[in-house]
Structure 1
């Protein structure tokens, strides 16, 4: 039982991080109707910016307080993501208003390759370290309940807490603020939103900036766990089945979808992997997403599209 609970906990922690990346997809889709293929590249670019400036700032300024250095590096990375959002709106989105969805999808694919190339050009292609002070040592809990107790990762706990706080903040932002309601209106109909005075360009800059900040948090957490390397953008691919499972327009759906996939892939790898030769963890999420597409294309919490004729 103890081993099962450890596996379950590991799956929940991985699922929370998948959900954090998926939320970036949901935010941008909710506010612009764009399926942002570049979200993985945004995670990588934000993490690279944070990691490299955390190295450069002590060299340039002589600071040796790592808390202050990380704070400054995070501010620079956040500013960089806002600049990326402004450039995306100015150079791409404003020229594609009311275009077909496939056109916008291909545009985000181009943005993805551009960010990958720009990150390699500006920051290099090595593996870099992000150390924001999250404890790496495991801890043992419930020793009185299970023999030997449960082995849990403190780093995973801290990461899950950060992700949960960000999710709560984003949910309140979308539901309770005037800007959040404007974002939802723009997602429903660009022209109608413009006709009632909602500034489309400003809204798109805001939502891509928020998506960039979410990407920064996800990049910092993944970078702390795995190191900042180009495989991080591949980790972000797990967000695709998460949003398919939870629904493209639902933040709670992204959270639940991430948890389901995180737990499902860990448990299936441990208990079913030995029967089929292993590797289930690599494809479980995509098979589950395919099954949902066949029976419930809008996902668990997505808006059902009804066409009346």
Structure 2
């Protein structure tokens, strides 16, 4: 019988502009996670570089096949004998575009799954921050469930957490763990990070593992941190703070089908239509004035 329990780790980072320094941080913290018993280690969104300037970004990112950071991470997974999930790397594409791409690497150092972030964070925040991911990154078009030795891993990245239909689709296609690596802004993270991740876990009856960027970054942005591991009942198993570090929790995948039997929302879902709103509102007569 396949073992269904394993220790998962979130590597919380504060990625800067220098790729080699960010790689060194992952190496150090992944070793710490391995020493803590982790068999699956997840890093945040934008593991390799976090920089606001488009020009600075394209000065340092490379196509996947020649990316030295990816090669270093493959060697790290092999050396430690772990499943290493890179929450995402910025990868150069043709035509001055980039991919916000996740990689799942097995203990032999082979890439077994890739996922390009589907939902682009194009928003103007009340505090004056403005983000236009779609100007730099090409959105993905394919949801991905990666196969781990213990069960299916649904891949998402950051802003994807606000789209429940993606998470439901992943669960319906075999995911019992959903990964949500992120670089959530401090403002939106304080308001929504915890509740969104717990909601996605509850809705799908899945574990959620979310490695985060946290703190004041070299390019001036602030991210929320608080890497989180949540069980299918919505209970927080482990949570980080703001500083870089490692968050660990045991995952028992037998809990997922058990909770899905108790609350079979995946089975009970139905397709439905939406009636158009009335074009002319009903006007109620003022009886007192008649």
Shorter-chain TM-score bucket reads: under 0.3
Q: Which structure has more RCO (C-alpha within 8 Å, separation ≥ 6)?
A: 1
Structure 1 or 2: larger helix share?
1
Structure 1 or 2: larger strand share?
2
TM-score, normalisation: structure 2: 0.24
